[in-house]
């Protein structure tokens, strides 16, 4: 929150993967500035690939959402344990206790395993860990249990939020994916993202206009040292997301 203030960010969405556990702490740390948007990033799966759906202005303690997140947490732990076992088979062992320590009170995920790989000396960087072992299609990659993006969108709506497709330009067939999700209630697309070039951003803005979707943006901040607040969506973004979430506002 202090970094956000230093960068003169008026509002920031905390979109942790498959958990809302940090929202209350963020609100306390912010002390009213920047404004904290209650949000989440749900990890959906489809055809052995991950699709991330952002939920903005959710009700963090909504019973249906929390019930699904608790089950998702158990699934993530089981998946992470399988990845650790696979790494041992591949000759790059890491300790499960180290992965847990790196995750702390948060949700266990591949970034924590990547950091454990780096600390164990198997790779030089977190990026190399994904490139060699953990990325989609790599030897230690294990898919999440099926949780379709359509289900993620419905869950976000049930929790009172607006649903946006995260970093769509990183998918090779993002146009078809967007067209598929519009009829089930997709509210926005993250056109402004560090992984998007100028042409992709322009194309996504065009699709947003075509399908009446909110143009959103995020710096995809995951760990200290990542850029924070480097993406700037349209100034109407928050207002439009609040309206889609059914909360009004201006």
Give residue-wise pLDDT tens across range 90-123. 999 999 999 999 988 777 889 999 999 999 999 9
Q: How confident is the model at residue 250 (pLDDT cuts 50, 70, 90)?
A: very low
Two tokens, residue 226: 């990542």
CATH code 3.90.105.10 for 70-134: no
CATH number of 2-61+148-244: 3.20.20.140
* Percent of the chain residues past pLDDT 70, beyond the cut: 98
> What pLDDT does residue 247 have?
54
Could you give the C-alpha distances from 238 to 6, 106, 162, 180, in angstroms and in order? 21, 26, 11, 24
Q: How much is the average pLDDT of 14-34?
A: 93
How many whole angstroms separate alpha carbon 92 and alpha carbon 101? 18
The residue length of the chain stands at 250
Nearest to 161 by CA among 217, 245, 243: 245
Question: Which has more pLDDT, 104 or 215?
Answer: 215
Fold match, 2-61+148-244 / 70-134: no
Could you give the C-alpha distances from 135 to 30, 141, 226, in angstroms and in order? 34, 6, 19
Give residue-wise pLDDT tens across range 141-193. 998 888 999 999 999 999 999 999 999 999 889 999 999 999 999 999 999 99
Domain ranges of the chain: 2-61+148-244, 70-134
What's the whole-model pTM score?
0.83
> What pLDDT does residue 229 have?
85
């Amino acid at each position: 929150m202090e970094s956000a203030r230093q960068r003169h960010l008026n509002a920031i969405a905390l979109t942790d993967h498959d958990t809302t556990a940090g929202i209350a702490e963020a609100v306390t740390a912010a002390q009213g500035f920047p404004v904290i948007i209650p949000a989440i990033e749900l990890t959906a799966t489809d055809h052995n690939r991950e699709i991330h759906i952002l939920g903005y202005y959710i009700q963090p303690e909504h019973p249906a959402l929390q019930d699904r997140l608790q089950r998702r947490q158990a699934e993530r732990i089981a998946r992470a344990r399988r990845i650790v076992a696979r790494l041992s088979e591949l000759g790059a062992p890491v300790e499960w206790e180290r992965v847990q320590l790196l995750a702390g009170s948060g949700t266990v995920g591949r970034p924590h395993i990547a950091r454990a790989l780096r600390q164990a000396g198997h790779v030089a960087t977190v990026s190399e860990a994904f490139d060699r072992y953990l990325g989609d299609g790599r030897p230690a990659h294990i898919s999440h249990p099926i949780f379709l993006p359509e289900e993620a969108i419905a869950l976000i709506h049930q929790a009172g939020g607006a649903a946006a497709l995260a970093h769509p330009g990183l998918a090779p067939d993002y146009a078809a994916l967007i067209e598929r999700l519009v009829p089930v209630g997709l509210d926005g697309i993250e056109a402004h993202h560090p992984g998007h070039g100028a042409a992709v951003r322009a194309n996504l803005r065009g699709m947003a206009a075509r399908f009446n979707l909110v143009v959103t943006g995020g710096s995809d901040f995951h760990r200290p040292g990542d850029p924070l607040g480097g993406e700037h969506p349209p100034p109407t973004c928050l207002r439009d997301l609040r309206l889609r979430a059914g909360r009004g506002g201006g």
